């Protein structure tokens, strides 16, 4: 079988799995929803709280940029600290791409744009190193989220799946960070043997990128900025969920319910099946409301749609204008990403770092 045919077969298999998963989740959700009441459920009781949710999501993205800066400032080749404005624009573009496309391609897009801006200011950073910083920032944010789950779990009876997911994700993220800090690229030799074909090359490039980006985590002040920015962003996301609940008049769900929703939604977002996590996002928001707080399925669906829209509006809306400020279109961004990836692949992608 030729590589092209193998790639097409793998792509078709992944698409079938995605369709099957989404169809199953959609079927389960549709079975429980009172569709006659959905239209009337889209009723906002407080536009002030909805505006608060939008503002909280916007500030949360800003703090994510602060956390990312903590990692970027430690990269080899950074002659001076990065300017926050050089990272915020690429970050919002990445959020937009992650919303519109699956597989978190936005992490690559934001790294390419940020690397271009940093090099304009005299930095000699490779795109692979900037990508590594973006990956490590996301992993650090996930570790902070695990701590949040543990804290909430001491106050609320979280579902077993939330504990299991947090435990598995947390251990995995800690293992990756520790390995990046003290390990060597050669230690992935066994993993590469177990991973077939193109995936092994991707694994090597990602690992090399993380090895290049890990220096930002070795300085206590920068580490504090990373963890502090991640925690602040998470708390603002919690506020955003609570504000949308209040916008729908669901005050009985309270801060505890908002925390539970944030946990379940974050778990769903960790496994992007479709662009914007459609269907899985709604299911992750609907099930806790219906099962634990006796909210009607129609109201829960309306809440889930508006909550996701309040997040997507920030990423897509602000990201679109940031992309225009870069003088690019989506097609131009895609070509730039492909060119950068090809260049890094020709150099070896940092896999031997």
pLDDT 10s digit of each residue in the chain, 353 long? 555 555 556 555 655 665 565 566 556 555 555 555 555 667 888 999 999 999 999 999 999 999 999 999 988 888 889 999 999 999 999 999 888 876 678 888 899 999 989 999 888 888 778 888 888 888 888 889 888 888 887 777 777 777 777 777 777 776 766 665 555 444 444 444 444 444 445 455 556 556 665 666 677 888 899 999 999 999 999 999 999 999 999 999 999 889 989 988 888 877 766 666 777 888 889 888 988 888 988 899 899 999 999 999 999 999 999 999 888 888 888 888 777 767 666 655 444 33
pTM beyond 0.75, yes or no: yes
Is residue 84 within 8 A of residue 96, CB to CB? The reply is no
Calculate the average pLDDT of the chain. 78
| Domains of the chain, residue spans | 44-344
| Site of tokens 């709604």 | 282
Q: How far apart are the first and last CA of the chain?
A: 33
Phi, psi of 46 (to 5 degrees): -140, 110
310, exposed or middle or buried, with CB in 10 Å at 0-12, 13-18, 19+?
Answer: buried
* Contacts of 196 by beta carbon, 8 Å cutoff, 6+ apart: none
How far, in Å, CA of 36 to CA of 103, rounded? 34
């Amino acid at each position: 079988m030729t590589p092209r045919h193998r790639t097409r077969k793998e792509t078709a298999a992944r698409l079938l799995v995605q369709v099957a998963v989404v169809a199953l989740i959609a079927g389960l959700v549709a079975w429980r929803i009172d569709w006659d009441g959905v239209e009337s459920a889209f009723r906002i009781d407080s536009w002030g709280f909805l505006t608060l949710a939008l503002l909280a999501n916007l500030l949360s993205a800003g703090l994510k940029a602060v956390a990312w800066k903590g990692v970027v400032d430690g990269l080899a080749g950074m002659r001076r600290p990065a300017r926050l404005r050089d990272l915020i624009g690429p970050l919002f573009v990445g959020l937009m791409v992650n919303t519109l496309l699956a597989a978190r391609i936005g992490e690559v897009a934001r790294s390419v744009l940020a690397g271009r801006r940093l090099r304009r200011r005299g930095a000699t950073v490779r795109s692979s190193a900037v990508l590594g910083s973006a990956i490590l920032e996301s992993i650090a944010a996930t570790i902070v989220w695990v701590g949040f789950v543990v804290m909430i779990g001491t106050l609320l009876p979280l579902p077993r799946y939330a504990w299991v997911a947090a435990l598995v994700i947390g251990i995995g993220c800690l293992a990756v960070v520790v390995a990046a800090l003290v390990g060597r690229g050669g230690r992935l030799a066994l993993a590469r043997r177990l991973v077939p074909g193109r995936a092994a090359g991707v694994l090597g490039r990602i690992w090399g990128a993380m090895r290049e980006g890990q220096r930002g985590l070795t300085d206590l002040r920068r580490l504090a900025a990373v963890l502090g920015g991640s925690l602040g962003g998470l708390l603002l996301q919690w506020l955003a969920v609570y504000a949308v609940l209040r916008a729908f008049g669901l005050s009985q769900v309270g801060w505890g319910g908002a925390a539970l929703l944030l946990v379940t939604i974050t778990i769903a977002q960790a496994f992007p099946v479709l662009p914007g996590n459609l269907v899985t996002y709604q299911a992750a928001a609907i099930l806790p409301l219906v099962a634990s707080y006796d909210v009607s399925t129609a109201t829960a669906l309306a809440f889930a749609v508006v909550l996701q829209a309040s997040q997507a509006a920030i990423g897509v809306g602000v990201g679109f204008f940031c992309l225009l400020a870069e003088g690019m279109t989506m097609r131009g961004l895609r070509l730039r990403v492909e060119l950068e990836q090809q260049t890094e692949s020709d150099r070896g992608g940092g896999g031997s770092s």
